[in-house]
Protein backbone atom coordinates (compact mmCIF):
# COMPACT_ATOMS: atom_id res chain seq x y z
CA UNK A 1 0.00 0.00 0.00
CA UNK A 2 1.22 3.47 -0.89
CA UNK A 3 0.94 6.14 1.80
CA UNK A 4 0.32 9.66 0.53
CA UNK A 5 -1.62 11.37 3.33
CA UNK A 6 -0.89 11.09 7.05
CA UNK A 7 -3.07 12.11 9.97
CA UNK A 8 -1.56 13.12 13.32
CA UNK A 9 -3.65 13.19 16.51
CA UNK A 10 -2.22 15.76 18.92
CA UNK A 11 -0.34 18.99 18.18
CA UNK A 12 1.88 19.00 21.26
CA UNK A 13 5.66 18.60 21.23
CA UNK A 14 5.62 15.10 19.76
CA UNK A 15 2.61 15.51 17.47
CA UNK A 16 3.83 18.74 15.92
CA UNK A 17 7.28 17.23 15.48
CA UNK A 18 5.82 14.20 13.70
CA UNK A 19 3.65 16.45 11.49
CA UNK A 20 6.68 18.58 10.60
CA UNK A 21 8.83 15.53 9.79
CA UNK A 22 6.10 14.02 7.60
CA UNK A 23 5.41 17.26 5.71
CA UNK A 24 9.11 17.89 5.18
CA UNK A 25 9.37 14.40 3.69
CA UNK A 26 6.69 15.22 1.12
CA UNK A 27 3.56 13.79 2.72
CA UNK A 28 0.26 15.64 2.94
CA UNK A 29 -0.54 15.97 6.66
CA UNK A 30 -3.71 16.54 8.69
CA UNK A 31 -2.86 17.63 12.26
CA UNK A 32 -5.67 17.43 14.82
CA UNK A 33 -6.13 18.70 18.36
CA UNK A 34 -9.04 19.40 20.68
CA UNK A 35 -9.21 23.17 20.11
CA UNK A 36 -8.25 25.80 17.55
CA UNK A 37 -5.92 27.26 20.16
CA UNK A 38 -3.98 24.00 20.50
CA UNK A 39 -3.88 23.48 16.73
CA UNK A 40 -2.59 27.01 16.13
CA UNK A 41 0.00 26.62 18.88
CA UNK A 42 1.30 23.46 17.22
CA UNK A 43 1.41 25.02 13.76
CA UNK A 44 3.18 28.08 15.15
CA UNK A 45 5.78 25.79 16.73
CA UNK A 46 6.35 24.04 13.41
CA UNK A 47 6.77 27.38 11.63
CA UNK A 48 9.28 28.54 14.27
CA UNK A 49 11.27 25.33 13.95
CA UNK A 50 11.38 25.61 10.17
CA UNK A 51 12.35 29.29 10.38
CA UNK A 52 15.41 28.31 12.43
CA UNK A 53 16.35 25.89 9.65
CA UNK A 54 15.99 28.71 7.11
CA UNK A 55 18.16 31.01 9.24
CA UNK A 56 20.84 28.31 9.41
CA UNK A 57 20.74 27.79 5.65
CA UNK A 58 19.47 24.20 5.91
CA UNK A 59 16.35 24.90 3.85
CA UNK A 60 15.16 27.81 1.72
CA UNK A 61 12.21 30.08 2.45
CA UNK A 62 10.46 28.49 -0.54
CA UNK A 63 10.95 25.03 0.96
CA UNK A 64 9.59 26.23 4.29
CA UNK A 65 6.49 27.65 2.62
CA UNK A 66 5.95 24.39 0.70
CA UNK A 67 6.26 22.30 3.88
CA UNK A 68 3.74 24.45 5.75
CA UNK A 69 1.35 24.30 2.79
CA UNK A 70 1.29 20.50 3.11
CA UNK A 71 -0.06 20.68 6.70
CA UNK A 72 -3.76 21.12 7.38
CA UNK A 73 -4.76 21.90 10.96
CA UNK A 74 -8.14 20.68 12.18
CA UNK A 75 -10.30 19.99 15.22
CA UNK A 76 -12.51 17.49 13.37
CA UNK A 77 -11.59 13.83 13.06
CA UNK A 78 -13.78 13.65 9.95
CA UNK A 79 -10.83 15.23 8.11
CA UNK A 80 -9.00 11.90 8.52
CA UNK A 81 -11.26 10.16 6.00
CA UNK A 82 -8.60 10.54 3.29
CA UNK A 83 -5.61 9.46 5.39
CA UNK A 84 -3.67 6.30 4.59
CA UNK A 85 -1.86 6.33 7.95
CA UNK A 86 -2.82 8.03 11.18
CA UNK A 87 -0.40 8.46 14.09
CA UNK A 88 -1.78 9.12 17.57
CA UNK A 89 0.47 11.30 19.73
CA UNK A 90 -1.51 12.33 22.81
CA UNK A 91 -0.62 12.07 26.50
CA UNK A 92 0.37 8.68 27.94
CA UNK A 93 -3.09 7.67 29.14
CA UNK A 94 -4.14 4.21 27.97
CA UNK A 95 -7.89 4.74 28.36
CA UNK A 96 -7.71 7.99 26.39
CA UNK A 97 -5.69 6.31 23.65
CA UNK A 98 -8.17 3.41 23.44
CA UNK A 99 -11.03 5.88 22.99
CA UNK A 100 -9.11 7.65 20.22
CA UNK A 101 -8.38 4.36 18.46
CA UNK A 102 -12.07 3.47 18.58
CA UNK A 103 -12.87 6.82 16.94
CA UNK A 104 -10.11 6.43 14.36
CA UNK A 105 -11.33 2.95 13.47
CA UNK A 106 -14.80 4.36 12.80
CA UNK A 107 -13.50 7.37 10.83
CA UNK A 108 -10.45 6.34 8.82
CA UNK A 109 -10.83 4.41 5.53
CA UNK A 110 -10.70 0.58 5.78
CA UNK A 111 -7.22 0.39 4.25
CA UNK A 112 -5.68 2.90 6.68
CA UNK A 113 -3.00 1.94 9.18
CA UNK A 114 -3.48 3.19 12.75
CA UNK A 115 -0.30 3.85 14.74
CA UNK A 116 0.49 5.09 18.22
CA UNK A 117 3.51 7.09 19.33
CA UNK A 118 3.30 5.66 22.87
CA UNK A 119 6.67 5.15 24.51
CA UNK A 120 5.64 2.43 26.97
CA UNK A 121 1.93 1.56 26.87
CA UNK A 122 0.38 -1.61 25.44
CA UNK A 123 -0.16 -1.31 21.69
CA UNK A 124 -2.13 -4.57 21.85
CA UNK A 125 -4.73 -2.96 24.12
CA UNK A 126 -5.19 -0.13 21.61
CA UNK A 127 -5.45 -2.58 18.71
CA UNK A 128 -8.12 -4.52 20.61
CA UNK A 129 -10.28 -1.37 20.67
CA UNK A 130 -10.53 -1.54 16.86
CA UNK A 131 -11.93 -3.90 14.24
CA UNK A 132 -8.64 -3.82 12.34
CA UNK A 133 -6.00 -5.08 14.81
CA UNK A 134 -3.89 -6.35 11.93
CA UNK A 135 -3.44 -2.72 10.81
CA UNK A 136 -2.39 -1.36 14.22
CA UNK A 137 1.20 -0.91 15.41
CA UNK A 138 3.41 1.40 17.44
CA UNK A 139 5.59 4.10 15.86
CA UNK A 140 7.59 5.47 18.77
CA UNK A 141 9.54 8.53 17.66
CA UNK A 142 12.40 10.01 19.68
CA UNK A 143 12.17 13.63 20.88
CA UNK A 144 12.78 16.05 19.17
CA UNK A 145 11.29 14.26 16.18
CA UNK A 146 12.76 16.42 13.38
CA UNK A 147 16.27 15.85 14.75
CA UNK A 148 16.46 12.36 16.26
CA UNK A 149 16.93 9.49 13.83
CA UNK A 150 15.56 6.45 15.65
CA UNK A 151 12.05 5.01 15.25
CA UNK A 152 10.87 2.06 17.34
CA UNK A 153 8.26 0.15 15.36
CA UNK A 154 6.20 -1.92 17.78
CA UNK A 155 4.60 -5.05 16.41
CA UNK A 156 1.79 -6.81 18.27
CA UNK A 157 0.83 -10.47 17.85
CA UNK A 158 -1.88 -9.37 15.40
CA UNK A 159 0.05 -6.82 13.28
CA UNK A 160 0.32 -8.05 9.69
CA UNK A 161 3.52 -8.26 7.67
CA UNK A 162 2.05 -5.82 5.14
CA UNK A 163 1.36 -3.25 7.87
CA UNK A 164 4.92 -3.51 9.18
CA UNK A 165 6.40 -3.23 5.67
CA UNK A 166 4.27 -0.18 4.79
CA UNK A 167 4.98 1.63 8.05
CA UNK A 168 8.68 0.79 7.82
CA UNK A 169 8.82 2.32 4.34
CA UNK A 170 7.24 5.50 5.72
CA UNK A 171 9.75 5.61 8.56
CA UNK A 172 12.66 5.24 6.18
CA UNK A 173 11.29 8.02 3.95
CA UNK A 174 11.20 10.18 7.09
CA UNK A 175 14.94 9.57 7.42
CA UNK A 176 14.68 7.28 10.43
CA UNK A 177 16.60 4.19 11.45
CA UNK A 178 13.67 1.81 11.96
CA UNK A 179 13.97 -0.86 14.64
CA UNK A 180 11.13 -3.42 14.87
CA UNK A 181 10.44 -4.52 18.45
CA UNK A 182 7.89 -6.64 20.32
CA UNK A 183 4.97 -5.15 22.21
CA UNK A 184 6.34 -5.45 25.74
CA UNK A 185 6.52 -3.03 28.68
CA UNK A 186 8.78 -0.10 27.76
CA UNK A 187 9.64 -1.75 24.41
CA UNK A 188 13.47 -1.47 24.14
CA UNK A 189 14.41 2.20 24.40
CA UNK A 190 12.55 2.94 27.61
CA UNK A 191 13.35 -0.38 29.25
CA UNK A 192 16.96 0.84 29.05
CA UNK A 193 16.52 4.61 29.49
CA UNK A 194 13.99 4.73 32.33
CA UNK A 195 16.17 3.26 35.12
CA UNK A 196 18.99 5.61 34.06
CA UNK A 197 16.74 8.66 34.45
CA UNK A 198 15.15 7.48 37.69
CA UNK A 199 18.54 6.74 39.23
CA UNK A 200 19.61 10.32 38.45
CA UNK A 201 16.58 11.54 40.42
CA UNK A 202 17.48 9.19 43.27
CA UNK A 203 20.97 10.72 43.38
CA UNK A 204 19.39 14.18 43.72
CA UNK A 205 17.34 12.80 46.62
CA UNK A 206 20.60 11.53 48.13
CA UNK A 207 22.02 15.08 48.09
CA UNK A 208 24.10 15.18 44.91
CA UNK A 209 23.79 18.58 43.10
CA UNK A 210 21.88 18.31 39.83
CA UNK A 211 24.56 20.25 37.95
CA UNK A 212 27.19 17.73 39.04
CA UNK A 213 25.09 14.77 37.92
CA UNK A 214 24.53 16.28 34.49
CA UNK A 215 28.20 17.27 34.16
CA UNK A 216 29.39 13.76 35.03
CA UNK A 217 27.15 12.27 32.35
CA UNK A 218 28.02 14.79 29.61
CA UNK A 219 31.72 15.19 30.37
CA UNK A 220 32.43 11.71 31.72
CA UNK A 221 30.11 9.47 29.70
CA UNK A 222 29.98 11.56 26.54
CA UNK A 223 26.22 12.02 26.44
CA UNK A 224 25.00 15.16 24.62
CA UNK A 225 22.68 15.99 27.53
CA UNK A 226 22.58 15.21 31.25
CA UNK A 227 19.74 13.02 32.60
CA UNK A 228 18.09 15.81 34.59
CA UNK A 229 18.20 18.21 31.65
CA UNK A 230 16.78 15.40 29.53
CA UNK A 231 13.99 14.81 32.04
CA UNK A 232 13.05 18.48 31.82
CA UNK A 233 13.03 18.26 28.01
CA UNK A 234 10.93 15.08 27.78
CA UNK A 235 8.59 16.14 30.59
CA UNK A 236 8.90 14.86 34.15
CA UNK A 237 5.19 13.97 34.10
CA UNK A 238 5.64 11.97 30.90
CA UNK A 239 8.54 9.95 32.30
CA UNK A 240 6.65 9.49 35.57
CA UNK A 241 3.61 8.03 33.82
CA UNK A 242 5.77 5.85 31.60
CA UNK A 243 7.83 4.49 34.48
CA UNK A 244 4.66 3.83 36.49
CA UNK A 245 3.18 1.87 33.58
CA UNK A 246 6.29 -0.30 33.24
CA UNK A 247 6.41 -0.85 37.01
CA UNK A 248 2.74 -1.80 37.05
CA UNK A 249 3.37 -4.56 34.50
CA UNK A 250 6.78 -5.83 35.62
CA UNK A 251 6.73 -5.05 39.36
CA UNK A 252 10.46 -4.41 39.05
CA UNK A 253 11.45 -1.80 41.69
CA UNK A 254 13.96 -0.09 39.40
CA UNK A 255 10.96 1.32 37.47
CA UNK A 256 9.13 2.60 40.56
CA UNK A 257 9.30 6.45 40.37
CA UNK A 258 11.19 8.12 43.24
CA UNK A 259 9.31 10.17 45.84
CA UNK A 260 10.88 13.43 44.61
CA UNK A 261 9.50 12.83 41.13
CA UNK A 262 6.02 12.14 42.55
CA UNK A 263 6.13 15.43 44.46
CA UNK A 264 7.32 17.41 41.43
CA UNK A 265 4.49 16.01 39.32
CA UNK A 266 1.99 16.91 42.07
CA UNK A 267 3.31 20.50 42.04
CA UNK A 268 3.08 20.74 38.25
CA UNK A 269 6.87 21.02 37.86
CA UNK A 270 7.07 19.16 34.56
CA UNK A 271 10.18 20.79 33.08
CA UNK A 272 10.52 23.07 30.07
CA UNK A 273 6.84 23.00 29.13
CA UNK A 274 5.81 24.51 32.49
CA UNK A 275 8.90 26.64 33.04
CA UNK A 276 10.13 24.70 36.06
CA UNK A 277 11.52 21.23 36.58
CA UNK A 278 14.96 20.36 37.89
CA UNK A 279 15.95 23.68 36.33
CA UNK A 280 14.06 26.93 35.85
CA UNK A 281 13.28 28.14 32.31
**Residue 140 known to be catalytic:** yes
Integer Cα distance of 31 and 76 in angstroms: 10
**Residue 223 known to be catalytic:** no
Residue spans of alpha helices (H) in the chain: 13-24, 36-55, 61-69, 94-107, 123-127, 161-173, 189-205, 210-215, 227-234, 236-250, 259-267
Read off the pLDDT of each residue in 175-192 and give the average, rounded to a whole number: 95
124 shares a domain with 47: yes
**Catalytic, out of 16, 122, 152, 244:** 152
- Order of strands across the sheet that contains 177-182: 71-74, 28-32, 5-9, 85-88, 113-116, 136-141, 150-155, 177-182
**Catalytic, out of 49, 92, 117, 140:** 140
* Pairing relationship of beta strands 5-9 and 113-116 according to DSSP bridges: unpaired
CATH assignment of the domain containing 144: 3.40.50.720
Read off the pLDDT of each residue in 123-133 and give the average, rounded to a whole number: 98
Whether 226 is in a domain gets the answer yes
Whether 277 is in a domain gets the answer no
**Catalytic, out of 21, 119, 122, 244:** 119
Instruction: Return the number of other C-beta atoms located less than 10 Å from residue 226's C-beta.
Output: 22
**Residue 40 known to be catalytic:** no
**Domain range for 233:** 190-272
Whether 279 is in a domain gets the answer no
What's the number of domains the chain is made of?
2
154 shares a domain with 52: yes
Contact 46, 71 (CB under 8 A): yes
Read off the pLDDT of each residue in 143-170 and give the average, rounded to a whole number: 96
Is residue 224 packed enough to be buried (19+ CB in 10 Å), middle (13-18) or exposed (0-12)? exposed
254 shares a domain with 115: no
Whether 280 is in a domain gets the answer no
**Of 153, 182, 211, which residue constitutes the final position of a domain?**
182
User: Which backbone phi and psi does 200 adopt, to 5 degrees?
Assistant: -65, -40
pLDDT digits (tens, 9 = 90+) for 86-112: 999 999 899 999 999 999 999 999 999
Give 66's contacts (C-beta < 8 A, 6+ positions apart).
none
231 shares a domain with 101: no
Give 187's contacts (C-beta < 8 A, 6+ positions apart).
119, 120, 138, 140, 152, 154, 181
CATH assignment of the domain containing 221: 1.10.1040.10
Percent of the chain with pLDDT over 70: 100
For CA atoms 251, 252, 255, 256, the dihedral sign is positive
For CA atoms 170, 175, 180, 181, the dihedral sign is negative
Read off the pLDDT of each residue in 213-237 and give the average, rounded to a whole number: 96
**How far is the CA of 79 from the CAs of 63, 121, 123, 255, in angstroms?**
25, 26, 24, 39
**Residue 119 known to be catalytic:** yes
pLDDT band of 143, cuts 50, 70, 90: confident
Whether 258 is in a domain gets the answer yes
98 shares a domain with 223: no
245 shares a domain with 213: yes
232 shares a domain with 169: no
**Catalytic, out of 190, 219, 248, 256:** 190
Asked whether the bond before 199 is cis by omega within 30 degrees of 0, the reply is no
Whether 278 is in a domain gets the answer no
267 shares a domain with 136: no
Read off the pLDDT of each residue in 140-145 and give the average, rounded to a whole number: 93
Read off the pLDDT of each residue in 249-259 and give the average, rounded to a whole number: 97
155 shares a domain with 57: yes
Whether 165 is in a domain gets the answer yes
Percent of the chain with pLDDT over 90: 97
177 shares a domain with 69: yes
Whether 281 is in a domain gets the answer no
pLDDT value at residue 248: 93
**Of 137, 153, 182, which residue constitutes the final position of a domain?**
182
**Of 156, 182, 208, which residue constitutes the final position of a domain?**
182
Contact 5, 22 (CB under 8 A): no
pLDDT band of 138, cuts 50, 70, 90: very high
Integer Cα distance of 53 and 48 in angstroms: 9
251 shares a domain with 137: no
80 shares a domain with 54: yes
The model's pTM is 0.90
Amino acid sequence: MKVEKIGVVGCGIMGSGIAQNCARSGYQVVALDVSEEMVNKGLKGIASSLKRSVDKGKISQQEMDAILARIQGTTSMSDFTGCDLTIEAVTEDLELKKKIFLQLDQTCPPHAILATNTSVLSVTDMAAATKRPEKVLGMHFANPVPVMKSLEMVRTISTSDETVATAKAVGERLGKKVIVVKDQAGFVANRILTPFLLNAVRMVEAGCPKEDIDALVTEGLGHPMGPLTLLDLIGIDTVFRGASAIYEELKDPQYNPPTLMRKMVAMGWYGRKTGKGFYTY
